[in-house]
C-alpha cells in the first residue's frame, strides 16, 4: 500500500481568498470560511471513485462533487477494470513484531476527501490503480508521499525536575507571574470564554481534575486515519503519554491554565511510544478541527490552534530531498488554511538550541514560540534561527519547569509535573492569544498575532539565541 496526500497545485502556490466579512464598525461579523473553491479541488474524489476506490470521507457523507453524472457513466463503461481480489497487503496477517499494515478490502484503494484543508488522502492497494490515478490527476495535483515522520519536540531536562504531586493541586497559588498579565486578565473576568482552542498532540486525559469540569471534544486519529476499515472516532479523551494533557493544562487547565474557560478541542495524532505522527494523521486532525470550528454554533467564534510537532531539520535517511520538500509544502498549505479560516496557529519552535529551526515554525504563517524561564532567561534548548530572512521564533513564552497536569494512576490518583520545552511555551502563548480573542472577539487572527507581538516584553540580548519580539504577555 502507498499513501499520498493529493493537493491541488494551485492551492499550494496560491493563498486562498478570504471569505466575505462584515465591515460595519461595531458589527464586524467574522464567519469562518476557508473559501477553498479552487477549480480542480473536487476532481480528485471524482477520479478516485471512478477507479473503484472506496470513500472514507468523515465526518458525514462525501460532499457532492462536480461531474457526478459523468463519473457514473464512466464507472459503467469498460475502460475501468475494478479489482475483484483483496489487495496484497491484506492477504497475510502481519507477524508479531512486523510493521503494522492497514486492513484492506476488495476495493482498489481508499481515499478521504478533506474539503476544509483542500486535499484528498489516497491509499493505493495496487500499482496499477496508482498509475491510472496519476494519469488522470498528475497535471493538476501534487502526489505527496506520506513518508516523512513528524514528531513533537519532547520535554527536556532544565536542571529541575520536581517531584510529581498527587491530588488536585499541591501549589498554593497559580504560578503565572504578574508580568504575564494572566492574573490581571482573570481578575477582570477575561478567562477565555467564547474562544475555541484546538490542540494537536498525544491526547488529553478528560478525567484528570484539571480538565474534568468541562466537556472536551476529542477525536482519536488512528494509524490509518483515512481508511474506511479503521474509522476515526469521537470518544472520551485519553492520553497514554501525558504530554498532551500537560499542554492542555498549561493553556486551559481549570486550576493552572492561562485561559481556563476556552472550549477545548483535542485531536490525538501522536503515538505515545514513538512520539511520531504522519502528514496524513495531522491532515485528518486538522480537517476535524476545522469541521468542528465551522459548525453553525462555532462559525463566528474566534479560534486558536496549538501545535507541538514538526519535521526533522533534514530529510531522514531513506527520504529523498524532493519528497521531503513536498511534505514540507503540504504542511505549510495546511497551516495556511488555518489563517484562511480566521484561526491563529501557535507553533513550538523546537528544542535543538540556537541555529536549529525546522518546520512548521519557520513558516511565515506560524506564530513560532521559543522558551524562557520565569526569570526571563532564554532556555538553552530553545530553537532559533533565520530561514529565508524570516527570524524564528516570533515570540517567547514560559517554557522551563512549567507546572501542569500529566496523568492518573490506576487508583485514580492524579499527577502534576514540571516539564520544560518549547512544547510548554507554545500553549502558554496560545492561552495568551485566547485571552486577547476573548476580550476582542471581532479581531482577525492576524490582528491578534500583531497585538501579541506589539505587546511583548522586550528581552535583553542573549548570546547565540534569538528571542523575536520578546515575552508574550496580556495587556
**What pLDDT score was predicted for residue 89?**
39
371-392 residue pLDDT tens: 999 999 999 999 999 988 899 9
What are φ and ψ of residue 39, in 5° steps?
-60, -35
**Tell me, what's the pLDDT at 447?**
95
Cell 512544547: give the residue: 423
pLDDT tens across 141-182, in order?
A: 999 998 877 776 655 654 444 445 555 566 656 789 999 999
User: Which of 143-157, 312-326, 431-445 has the weakest average pLDDT?
Assistant: 143-157
pLDDT digits (tens, 9 = 90+) for 347-371: 999 998 998 888 899 999 999 999 9
CATH 3.40.50.200 range(s) for the chain read 151-455
Over residues 186-197, the mean pLDDT reads: 98
Please say if the pLDDT value at position 134 is more than 50. Answer: yes
pLDDT at 76 over 50: no
Mean pLDDT throughout 44-64? 73
pLDDT in tens, 424-433: 999 999 999 9
> What is the pLDDT, as a whole number, of residue 210?
93
Pairing verdict, β 109-114 and 119-124: antiparallel
Count of helices and strands (H, E) across the chain: 10, 20
CATH of 151-455, one of 3.40.50.200, 3.40.50.300, 3.30.1330.30, 3.40.50.920: 3.40.50.200
Q: Tell me the per-residue pLDDT of 205-264, one tens digit each, with 9 for 90 and over.
A: 999 999 999 999 999 887 666 666 666 778 899 898 889 999 999 999 999 999 999 999
Residue with cell 481480489: 85
Mean pLDDT, to the nearest integer, of 436-458? 96
**Looking at the annotation, which residues are catalytic?**
201, 243, 423
Q: Which pairing describes strands 165-166 and 150-151: parallel, antiparallel, or unpaired?
A: unpaired
The stretch 442-459 carries a mean pLDDT of 96
- From the list 261, 262, 281, 263, the residue with the least C-alpha distance to 271 is 281
What is the share, in percent, of the chain residues with pLDDT greater than 70?
Answer: 76
pLDDT tier at 314, thresholds 50, 70, 90: confident
* pLDDT computed for residue 105 by the predictor: 58
Contacts with 389 (C-beta within 8 Å, 6 or more apart), sequence order:
none
Give, in order, the Cα–Cα distances in Å from 359 to each of 117, 329, 365, 387, 390: 18, 10, 11, 10, 12
Q: What is the pLDDT of residue 466?
A: 92
Rounded average pLDDT over 303-321: 86
Confidence check: pLDDT of 68 > 50: no
**Full strand arrangement of the beta sheet holding 119-124:** 54-55, 109-114, 119-124, 2-8, 141-145
Lowest mean pLDDT among 15-24, 264-273, 352-361, 440-449: 15-24
Taking residues 294-302, what's their average pLDDT? 91
- Residue 57: pLDDT over 70: no
Q: For residue 231, what pLDDT is reported? A: 67
Amino acid at each position: 500500500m502507498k499513501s499520498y496526500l493529493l493537493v491541488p497545485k494551485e492551492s499550494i502556490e496560491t493563498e486562498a481568498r478570504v471569505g466575505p466579512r462584515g465591515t460595519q464598525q461595531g458589527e464586524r461579523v467574522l464567519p469562518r470560511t476557508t473559501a477553498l473553491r479552487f477549480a480542480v479541488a473536487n476532481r480528485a474524489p471524482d477520479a478516485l471513485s471512478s477507479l473503484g476506490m472506496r470513500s472514507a470521507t468523515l465526518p458525514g457523507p462525501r460532499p457532492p462533487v462536480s461531474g457526478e453524472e459523468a463519473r457514473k457513466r464512466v464507472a459503467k463503461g469498460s475502460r475501468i477494470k475494478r479489482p475483484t481480489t483483496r489487495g496484497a497487503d491484506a492477504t497475510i496477517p502481519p507477524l508479531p513484531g512486523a510493521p503494522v499494515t492497514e486492513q484492506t478490502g476488495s476495493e482498489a484503494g481508499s481515499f478521504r476527501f478533506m474539503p476544509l484543508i483542500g486535499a484528498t488522502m489516497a491509499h493505493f492497494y495496487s500499482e496499477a490503480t496508482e498509475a491510472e490515478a496519476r494519469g488522470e490527476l498528475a497535471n493538476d495535483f501534487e502526489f505527496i508521499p506520506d513518508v516523512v515522520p513528524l514528531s513533537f519536540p519532547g520535554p527536556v531536562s532544565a536542571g529541575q525536575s520536581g517531584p510529581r504531586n498527587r491530588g488536585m493541586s499541591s501549589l498554593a497559588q497559580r504560578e503565572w507571574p504578574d508580568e504575564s498579565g494572566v492574573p490581571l486578565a482573570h481578575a477582570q473576568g477575561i478567562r477565555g470564554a467564547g474562544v475555541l482552542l484546538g490542540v494537536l498532540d498525544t491526547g488529553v486525559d478528560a478525567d484528570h481534575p484539571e480538565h474534568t469540569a468541562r466537556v472536551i471534544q476529542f477525536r482519536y486519529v488512528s494509524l490509518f486515519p483515512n481508511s474506511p476499515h479503521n474509522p476515526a472516532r469521537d470518544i472520551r479523551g485519553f492520553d497514554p503519554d501525558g504530554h498532551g494533557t500537560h499542554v492542555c493544562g498549561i493553556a486551559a487547565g481549570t486550576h493552572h491554565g492561562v485561559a481556563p474557560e476556552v472550549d477545548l478541542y483535542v485531536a490525538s495524532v501522536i503515538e505515545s511510544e514513538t512520539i511520531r505522527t504522519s502528514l496524513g494523521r495531522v491532515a485528518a486532525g486538522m480537517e476535524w478541527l476545522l469541521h468542528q470550528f465551522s459548525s453553525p454554533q462555532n462559525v463566528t467564534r474566534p479560534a486558536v490552534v496549538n501545535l507541538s510537532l514538526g519535521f526533522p531539520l533534514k530529510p531522514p535517511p531513506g527520504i529523498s530531498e524532493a519528497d521531503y520538500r513536498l511534505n514540507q509544502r503540504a504542511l505549510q498549505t495546511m497551516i495556511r488554511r488555518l489563517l484562511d479560516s480566521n484561526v491563529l496557529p501557535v507553533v513550538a519552535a523546537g528544542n535543538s538550541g540556537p541555529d536549529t529551526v525546522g518546520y512548521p515554525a519557520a513558516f511565515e504563517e506560524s506564530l513560532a514560540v521559543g522558551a524562557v524561564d520565569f526569570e526571563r532567561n532564554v532556555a538553552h534548548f530553545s530553537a532559533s534561527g533565520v530561514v529565508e530572512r524570516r527570524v524564528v521564533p516570533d515570540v517567547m513564552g514560559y517554557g522551563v519547569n512549567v507546572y501542569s497536569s500529566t496523568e492518573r494512576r490506576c487508583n485514580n490518583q492524579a499527577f502534576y509535573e514540571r516539564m520544560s520545552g518549547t512544547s510548554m511555551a507554545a500553549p502558554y502563548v496560545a492561552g495568551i492569544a485566547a485571552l486577547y480573542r476573548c476580550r476582542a472577539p471581532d479581531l482577525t487572527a492576524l490582528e491578534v498575532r500583531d497585538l501579541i507581538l506589539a505587546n511583548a516584553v522586550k528581552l535583553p540580548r542573549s548570546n547565540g539565541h534569538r528571542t523575536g519580539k520578546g515575552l508574550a504577555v496580556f495587556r
